[in-house]
Structure formats: structure tokens, C-alpha cells
Structure 1
Amino acid sequence: MSIKLVAIDIDGTLVNNNREITPQVFEAIQQAKAAGVKIVIATGRPLLGVKNILADLNLLDEGDYVITYNGALVQATATGEAFIDEPLTYDDYLDIEMESRRLDTPLHSITMSAVYTHNRNISKYSVNEAYITGLPLKYRTAEEMGKHELVKMMYIDEPEKLDNTIKKLPKRFWERYNIVKSTPFYLEILNKNASKGLAVQHLANKLGITYDETMAIGDEENDRSMLEAVGNPVVMENGNPELKKIAKYITKSNEASGVAHAINEWVLNN
């Protein structure tokens, strides 16, 4: 059965180590789109932080979609209209913020329009997040955050310290939230119903695309849910060894245009 939807992670997958889209990847995606395949970028970033990539890949047309905030939002790329919207509540914020103080771990929160921190000593990782996403970074107290709709929150720290924080998280956190480690220094906390996997499933259902007609390409643990949600999971050669255990296919590395190889071999040639 032919592939009709391909969800693609960005860092370590779509782009090379210089964060560039190679000509081979560009051409493969253009051919797939021309053949009627839905190419869906699936990222932890907001729409603003991925608009340039969508523009470069000609994925801003009517009928194009993007999965943002690791699945908390699915949006039409042309208009920004949300098809799936799974935010955190203010009660969630207070719960997560209290634990950040108990565990002495820096925290920032992300809305559709800004990155917010309550840390007076602003973490370099909050600065990095604002730079990557293109969102402004703002300081606000916990009391001031009640009027903002939060898409996700992130515990941020040096990798060894963050790993220690993860070990100390209360059991109820794992039951109440979707928690994914997107980089060695970012632990993302989302609505329980927000994940790349659920987003891919809901979008495929909306478009009338079956399980066997879906493919996802990724490299890290925050891609696991979408790899498990599709009929054709593809893991990059440079990907996490644990993810390769659930892959149907292993493609070339991001440095060797692995996304292009996957599309050419298992989408266009089938």
C-alpha cells in the first residue's frame, strides 16, 4: 500500500548538523508533495520557529499541516489555524512550578507568543529556546501567569543535573502529563493528550489516511510516540539505538540526506 502521509522531525533528521536542508532532501520532498503525499513537519518548536523551513520546502499551501510543540498543536500552515489544541492549565502551571522550586531546577513556559521564565537568574537554556523559536523571552512571576494559555513547560538544566531531576520527579507527574526529553538539557512537560504520535493519528484520521499509509521519520526519544503511531516507522542511522528496535526501516544519517533516501526508497518507489 502506498504511503500518503510522512511526518518528519527536524533536528538530527530533516536537517544536517549545520541545520541545513540538503538539495537531495529538498528535491525528494518536492517530488513527494507533487505526487500527492502529505509532508508534515513534526517539531517541538512553535509555528513561528519553523516558518522559514516550511517556506523553504514549499509547505505553506492550503492543505498543508504542521505538528508543533511536540504535538500540543496541529496547525494549517497557510493560516495558523489550530486543528488540535491541547494546552496546560494554570493549575498545571502551579503544580509544575512548585516542583521546579522543590527540585531546584530552572523552568520556562511557552505560549503561542512568548517564552516566559520566573527565574530571576535567567537560564542560558531559556535564552537558547527564545533564539531557536524566534519568540520573545519575558520574565513573569507565578501570579502573573494565570492569564496566559500555556502550550508546554520545560525543566532546563545541565544534562547531569537534569537527569537527576528526572529521577526525583513524583510518580503522579508521569501519570498526569506527557513528559519527553527533547535534548540532553530540555525536559518538556505537556498535556497528557499532547504528543507527536496522537497528533499524527488525528491528522491521518482527518485526512482519511489509514495506518498502513503513514510514515514517520525521527531520531530521538521525543519522536518515539509518532514512530509507534504509524505503519512505517523510519529511524535515522544517527538515531537513538533504542528507537532502532521499533523501526521498520533504518535510513541513512542526517549528514547523508537520510530523509531523501527514505522518501525515494519507501515512498516514491513503492
Structure 2
Amino acid sequence: MAIKLIAVDIDGTLINDQRQITPKTVAALKQAQAAGIKVVLCTGRPMTGVEAYLEQLGLNNQDQEYVISFNGALAQSTSGHVLVSYTLSFADYADWVNYCLKTGVHSQIETRDYIYTTNQNLSYYTIYESELVSMNVRYRSMDQMAREQGNYVIAKAMMVDTKGKIDHALANLPADFKKRFSIVRSEDFYLEFMHKNASKGQTLDRLCQKLHIKPEEVMALGNAQNDNSMLEFAGTGVAMGNSVPATLKVADITVADNNHDGVAEAVNKYALN
């Protein structure tokens, strides 16, 4: 069945290690658009970290083009109309951040406008994330967060620390967390917590229903655990050559890595053939 929608992760997939979309990949995705295929960026990033790539692909500020951000917590048109929104309650956040404090893991939340952290000594990984997604960081004490809780729309919460600390925190998670949150590890140093219904796969499913596109008409490309749900949803799940083992396992197809135009390879072979 012909591909009608291509869902593409950004980091480690669409962009190379220099954070660039190569000319070959741009050309392939624009050719897909010209053929009437929807191109939807599906990312853990907030919109501030997506807009430059949407612009490069000619997708920004349009009512009929779409993006999935925050690992599925938000789906919207690239002009800003929200179609799907899953957010965390302050009560869930408070329990989660208390666990982070107990285990000595740095933490942060992301809203549509800012990264917030209760860690006065910022984690290196918070600073890295801020630069990566072009979003400013604001420090708030937990007391301030509680007093101002009505001001925060929490898209996702993140543990941001060394691999060893994240491993320990993950191994000792309270049992109810797995029921209360959707949990994905997007990097060795990032463990992300969203609303229990939020995932790239589930939100992509909802978007496709709105667009009357069947799963078998979807090709999804990714490289990490947070991409697995959309690769499993799509009729054609594509893992990049640089993918983690769990993503390679769920994929239907493996292509070249993100530094060797794997996205262009997949589009040319399986969407434009």
C-alpha cells in the first residue's frame, strides 16, 4: 500500500551529529511532499527546538502540516492549532520530583515556553538541553512551584543526570510510577516522564485518525526507545543504523545511520518507489 505519511524523529534520525539536515535528506523529503505525502516531525523536543527544521523543510506556519512534540504529549499544526494535548498534573509532578530528590537525581520539567528546575545548581544536562532545544531555563524552589502551580502546563518531566544515576533511579522506581506515567529513556542521561497516555505512537495514531490515514499507509523512522511506539504503530517501521538494540528489534527495516543519509535512503526506497 502506498505511503501517505512519513513520521520522522529528529535527534539521531533526521539530523546528523552536527545537528544538520543534509541536502540529500532535504531533497528526499521535499520530493515526498511534492508527491502528496505528509511529512510529520515526531520528537521529544519542544516546539522551540523544532521550528528551524520545519522551516528548512518548508513545513512551518501551515494549517495543514503537523508536528508531534514532547514525545507525544502535544500534536499541533505547524501554525499552532493544537490537536492532541496530554499534560502532567501538579500532584503527579510533586510525587515525581520528591523521588528525584530522594535519589539525588537532577530533574526538570518542560512547558511550552520554559524549562523549569528545582535544582539551584543546574545539571550539565539541563544546560545541554536548554541549548539543544533553544529554550531558556528558570530556577524555582519547590515552594514557589507549589504556590504558582496554576501557571504551569507540564508537558513532560525529565531526570537529567549521569548514566549511573539514571540507571539507579530507573531500577528503583516506585511501582505505581509505571501506571501513572508514560516513561521513555531518550538518552543514557535522559529519563522522561509524560502523561500515561502520551507516546509518539499513540499520538501519531490519533493524528492519523484525524487525517483518515491508515497505519499501513505510514512509514515511521527513529533510532531510540522513545521512537519504538511509532515504529510499532506504522505499517513500515524504519530503524536508523545508529539505533539502540531495542529499536532495531521492533523495526521492519534498517537503513544507514544518521550521518549517512538513512532517512533519504528510506524515503527513496520505500515511499517514492
Common fold, TM-score beyond 0.5? yes
2:77 is equivalent to residue 73 of structure 1: no
What are the residue-to-residue correspondences of 1:216-235 with 2, within 5 Å?
216-235=220-239
Assess if the C-alpha contact under 8 Å between 1:47 and 1:80 holds in 2: no
What is the aligned residue count? 268
| 1:183 alignment counterpart | 187
Q: 2:169 aligns with which of 162, 165, 186?
A: 165
- Select 1:210's aligned residue among 202, 208, 214: 214
CA distance in 1, matches of 2:48, 2:122: 22
Cα shift readout 1:34-60 (whole Å, capped 9, x = no counterpart): 111010001111111110010001112
Q: How is 1:82-97 mapped onto 2 (pairs within 5 angstroms)?
A: 82-97=82-97
Letter in 1 for 2:204: V
Percent of paired sites with the same residue: 41
Q: Tell me the secondary structure at the aligned position of residue 45 of structure 1.
A: coil
Q: Is the 8 A contact 1:87 1:190 kept in 2?
A: yes
Verify the 8 A CA contact 2:63 2:81 in the aligned structure 1.
no
1:125 partner letter: Y
- Letter of the 1:24 counterpart: K
Q: CA deviation at 1:144?
A: 2.6
Point out where structure 1 has 5 or more consecutive residues left out of the alignment: none
Which runs of 5 or more residues in structure 2 are unaligned? none
Describe the SS at the equivalent of 2:50.
Answer: helix
Aligned to 1:239: 243
* Alignment partner, residue 58 of structure 1: 58
- Measure the CA separation in 1 of the matches of 2:156 and 2:251: 28
Partner Cα separation in structure 2 for residue 50 and residue 32 of structure 1: 19
Deviation at 1:109, TM superposition (A): 0.9
Offset of residue 17 of structure 1: 1.4
Moved over 4 A (4+): none
**3-state DSSP of counterpart to 2:186:** strand
Q: Which amino acid aligns with 1:250?
A: T
Q: Hey, what does 1:151 align to over in structure 2?
A: 155
What is the aligned partner in structure 1 of residue 117 from structure 2?
117
What code does the residue aligned with 1:238 have? N
Matched AA of 1:169: L
Stretch moving more, 240-249 or 10-19 = 240-249
Deviations 1:21-45 (A, max 9, x none): 1111000000000111010001111
Amino acid at match of 1:63: Q
Shift of 1:80: 1.4
The residue aligned with 1:21 is 21
CA–CA separation in structure 1 for the residues paired with 2:49 and 2:84: 18
CA–CA separation in structure 2 for the residues paired with 1:30 and 1:245: 29
Q: Distance in 1 between matches of 2:250 and 2:173?
A: 27
Q: Under a length normalisation based on structure 1, what TM-score does the superposition of the two structures give?
A: 0.97
Q: Distance in 2 between matches of 1:23 and 1:234?
A: 20
Q: State the distance in 2 between where 1:44 and 1:3 align.
A: 24
What SS does the aligned partner of 1:39 have? strand
Deviations 1:83-128 (A, max 9, x none): 1000001101111111111111111111111000101211111111
Contact 2:86 2:197 in 1 (8 A): yes
> How far is 1:62 from its partner?
2.8
